[in-house]
Amino acid sequence: MAVGVFDSGIGGLTVLDAITRRLPDLPLVYLGDNAHAPYGVRTHEDIFNLTCAAVERLWDEGCDLVILACNTASAAALKRMQETWLPADKRVLGVFVPMIEALTERQWGDNSPPREVAVKHVALFATPATVASRAFQRELAFRAIGVDVEAQPCGGVVDAIEQGDEILAEALVRSHVEALKRRMPHPEAAVLGCTHYPLMEGAFQEALGPGVKVFSQANLVAESLADYLRRRPEMLGSGTGSKFLTTGDPKTVSSKATQFLRRRIVFEAA
């Protein structure tokens, strides 16, 4: 009954941690494609091929349902995977929709026409590939009208987090927020469109100011998954154990992940 959680690196561990708190009895198999990280500077074709290979590896672990806990993969690969590649008995879900549902105050599965919402000016902080895909704006347009989105590609932040350099990551966050505010001086809400960024949520909030509501994904994705499994229990796969897999060096990734989550994480070679 395992569910797969995929990310290009260790950022998706924020989502896994939230799912573990929400569904403590659910076995989870995490796969980090650390050998090819970061995805945010790759082409869409490259991201698609790498994501498909990772999802197939999680199917091998008995995970019929896989969460792309990676905004770049969700933005650049998910739609194409669902339309052209995915077998009928498998499901791959992304991380954008739960965020947009929270932002637009819609319930899961609300397919009514797009409507006016309270928030009119939204700042999106994401990787360059996610920003270039415009996937967030496309999904938002299905649900809301009249929302101005200003997107800021946050080069370097993921690398700094993966390297454990918190001082550099915070400095980059401040720089990216300043760049966005030159184009949108008064955002009402900010979306952290990368699963690494919850670790920097405090830095984003401080730079944006107390009047900006910051939306972070991990808990929203966990709640959405719990709702999905209530409605679709047949999507629980045959896997029975939790494990952490990486395409990179397990010892190095284990050390970074332990520092990242502040609890011991042991990765195995994928």
194 is catalytic: yes
Comparing CA positions, the residue from 93, 90, 43, 49 lying closest to residue 71 is 93
- Alpha-carbon distance of 191 to 208, in angstroms, equals 11
Q: Which residues are annotated as a binding site?
A: 7-8, 39-40, 71-72, 195-196
Tens digit of each residue's pLDDT (9 = 90 or more) over 56-115:
999 999 999 999 999 999 999 999 999 999 999 999 999 988 888 888 888 766 778 899
52 is catalytic: no
- Alpha-carbon distance of 233 to 59, in angstroms, equals 17
Report helix angle 13-22 to 218-231, nearest 10. Answer: 50
Supply the CATH classification number for the domain 3-94+218-269. Answer: 3.40.50.1860
For residues 113 and 208, the model is more confident at 208
> What is the distance in angstroms between the CA of the first residue and the CA of the last residue of the chain?
20
What pLDDT does residue 161 have? 86
Q: Which residues are annotated as a binding site for substrate?
A: 7-8, 39-40, 71-72, 195-196
> Domain 97-215, what architecture?
3-Layer(aba) Sandwich (3.40)
- Please pick, among 52, 63, 70, 154, the residue that the annotation labels catalytic: 70
What pLDDT does residue 109 have? 66
* Domain boundaries of the chain, sorted by first residue: 3-94+218-269, 97-215
Tens digit of each residue's pLDDT (9 = 90 or more) over 34-56:
999 889 889 999 999 999 999 99
Whole-structure pTM value = 0.87
Tens digit of each residue's pLDDT (9 = 90 or more) over 221-270:
999 999 999 999 998 888 788 999 999 999 999 998 998 888 999 999 99
Asked whether the beta carbons of 85 and 23 are under 8 A apart, the reply is no
In the DSSP assignment, the letter for residue 113 is: P
- Please pick, among 52, 63, 154, 194, the residue that the annotation labels catalytic: 194
Per-residue pLDDT, averaged over 130-134, amounts to 92
Tens digit of each residue's pLDDT (9 = 90 or more) over 6-42:
999 999 999 999 999 999 999 999 999 999 988 988 9
Q: Percent of the chain having pLDDT more than 90?
A: 73
Q: Do domains 3-94+218-269 and 97-215 have the same CATH topology?
A: yes
